[in-house]
Amino acid sequence: MNSRRDFLQKIGLSALALHLAPISGWANGTDHHNEIYDGPVLRVAIMGLGSYGTRVAEAMQTCTKAKLVGVISGTPSKVKEWQSKYKIPEKNCYNYENFDNIKSNPDIDAVYVITPNGLHHDQVIRVAKAGKHAICEKPMAVNAREGQEMVDACKKANVKLLVGYRMHFEPKTLEVIRMRKAGEFGKILFFQGLCGFTIGDPTQWRLNKQLSGGGSIMDIGIYAINGSRYMTGEDPVWVTAQETKTDNVKFKEGVDETIQFQLGFPSGAVASCLSTYTMNNLDRFFLNGEKGFAELLPSTGYGPIMGHTHKGELTQPVTVHQTVQMDQMAGIIFQNKQPVVPIDGEEAVKDLKIIDAIYLAAKTGTKVSIKL
């Protein structure tokens, strides 16, 4: 197993054999799949043609509000392959040196940056300066300072900055959030987020501090961090953390192998989370309240997400997360629609501030205050 995405794909591919329910309306709780869409279509260029870029491209083939129209890559052979497969015109193909030229290309509305974490900052700022909307994979940057610079650059350029928080549109996740908002769990007391897999190839970029910004926290742990916020409905005010490292060769200085961290929230609720690169079978969210509970297992894989609450099994449909995400992003960009859970740059900076605090807490062994 070579990556987080390989791990998630293990369960994600099975979803394709299941009933794939209509996807266009479930992100907002309605089913509009029989309606004909005649609004603006978000024309997207994907930057970074690796495994996840490929997944997004495939998912976009069934989008109704977004379309893949361009590519940006440092590998000419991949560009040619994508050109042929997705009917992308030559004028919409760029490399990492010349993609600033998208500024003069009216056929591209947005660029989806799907490159290693350490490259996001400079690439998103270049996209913004070119006058295009930026979509960035998570984590948006390697620290909160860089993240804020990206937000500021996009605001200055008057373009939107959105982040690939696909779970914010997932039907079962949204149902748990609805139940929590409706008070069906009562006062929230506790959240648990377990995220991990056994990482493979030791030479991959995820184990390179300069490219990844860290280790498991920057890759799989961010799901528990972000999940703790949308599941509880609060932002944490303190964190404690403990790091465990069993392989100093594979996980070099600055690349975390396993981190356990605890979060405290203003209401008194607490969270206990685990992020690891050395254990499989970890993809679980559990939310406990005075009146009931919710469990998602798996909680963040590509699908199918499964779960139950004290009221029974969650039966919302299986969707292709990236298809829903891209269609919803079109509405956010063109019609300023507001999702149930934000996916903008400010949301991502909050997660980055928490990550910064987790690393500091693990390093110092102290409780670190968080101000978001």
The domain ranges of the chain are: 20-166, 168-317+342-369
**pLDDT at residue 55 above 80?**
yes
> Does the CA dihedral 94-99-104-110 come out positive or negative?
positive
Nearest-angstrom CA–CA distance, 52 and 188: 34
**pLDDT at residue 206 above 70?**
yes
DSSP summary character for residue 206 = G
Average per-residue pLDDT for the chain:
92
14 pLDDT tier (thresholds 50, 70, 90):
very low
Question: Cis (ω within 30 of 0) for the bond into 116?
Answer: no
The CATH class of the 20-166 domain is alpha beta
Distance separating the N- and C-terminal Cα atoms of the chain: 35
Structure tokens at 325: 């995400």
Structure tokens at 40: 């603006």
Q: Region 147-162: what's the mean pLDDT?
A: 98
**pLDDT at residue 265 above 50?**
yes
At residue 27, what are phi and psi to the nearest 5 degrees?
-65, -25
pLDDT, position 303: 79
Amino acid letter, 56:
V
Strand partners, 288: 190, 293
Helix (H, G, I), strand (E, B) or coil at 238: strand
DSSP string, 294-324: EEESS-SSSS---EEETTEE--PPB--HHHH
Question: Cis (ω within 30 of 0) for the bond into 342?
Answer: no
Q: Region 74-99: what's the mean pLDDT?
A: 98
**Do residues 352 and 140 touch, judged by C-beta distance below 8 A?**
yes
**pLDDT at residue 20 above 80?**
no
Positions annotated as catalytic residues are 138, 223
pLDDT, position 32: 44
Structure tokens at 137: 């994979």
pLDDT, position 35: 66
- Lowest model confidence (mean pLDDT) among 33-42, 121-130, 358-367: 33-42
CATH 3.30.360.10, applies to 168-317+342-369: yes
> Does the CA dihedral 186-190-191-192 come out positive or negative?
negative
Q: Is 340 exposed, middle or buried (0-12, 13-18, 19+ CB in 10 A)?
A: middle
Query: pLDDT tens, 91-103?
Result: 999 999 999 999 9
pLDDT, position 4: 45
Nearest-angstrom CA–CA distance, 111 and 73: 12
* 247-272: b (≥16 Cβ within 10 Å) or e: eeebbeeebbbbbbbbbbbeeebbbb
